[in-house]
Chains A and B, each alone.
Chain A
Amino acid sequence: GQQVMQIPQYQHVQEGEDFTTYCNSSTTLSNIQWYKQRPGGHPVFLIQLVKSGEVKKQKRLTFQFGEAKKNSSLHITATQTTDVGTYFCAGDNYGQNFVFGPGTRLSVLP
């Protein structure tokens, strides 16, 4: 079945440094979503990408969807302590629902 992987599993950065997490699917995706889960909280939707090669920005966050629609990335510029949490991608391979990746846990040291 469809598998969605994310790397790295953990990332520790100094405040102000950049951060990138990568999401890879075993199958071509029709859509990909990104969620953020703060410690002790629930996942919160960040964005959805649909088009091949699509790039979307939200303030310091940049999301990309690969040309082959099998991978995606989330890049955070100049991290802040408020960026701490686990970032999940969720991909759909033209199926019924999204399959979540295992997440990348980000720690930001002040």
Chain B
Amino acid sequence: GAGVSQSPSNKVTEKGKDVELRCDPISGHTALYWYRQRLGQGLEFLIYFQGNSAPDKSGLPSDRFSAERTGESVSTLTIQRTQQEDSAVYLCASSPGRLTEAFFGQGTRLTVV
């Protein structure tokens, strides 16, 4: 596709359930980022993938959060045993390389009820 694609666009889940969010980056982009944005707040870094290097997981808030990326393609962010404070928009971005312009997807709005 022409841009970064995220699915689903909206997800409502019950507290305690697991959710999986998907990101399809722009083809050829080696870098991929996940951010969390709470309502009216800034972007909270979660995790960063760059090529075949070990991912930077320093932003993951707890061990309930994990992410994987297959090569330089699709990434999934998994949140286990969701809590109400996990409610936010989860944004994925990709870029052609390290420290270059990041292209953001539309985000997945997660609501934990």
Contact = CB atoms under 8 A, between A and B. Distances in A.
A58 interface: no
A92 B91 CA distance: 19
B25 interface: no
Interface in B18-46: 31, 33, 35, 41-43, 45
Contacts of A35: 102
Contacts, number: 47
B8 to A, nearest CB: 15
A88 interface: yes
A100 B98 contact: no
Interface in A52-110: 88, 92, 96-103
Contacts of A48: 100-101
Interface residues of A, number: 20
Contacts of A103: 42
A97 B56 contact: yes
Contact of B101 (A30, A45, A88, A99): A45
B45 A99 contact: yes
Given A48-B100, A88-B43, 10 more contacts: A35-B102, A42-B106, A43-B43, A97-B45, A97-B48, A97-B98, A98-B102, A100-B35, A100-B42, A100-B43
10 contacts: A30-B99, A35-B102, A42-B105, A42-B106, A43-B91, A43-B93, A43-B102, A97-B56, A100-B43, A102-B42
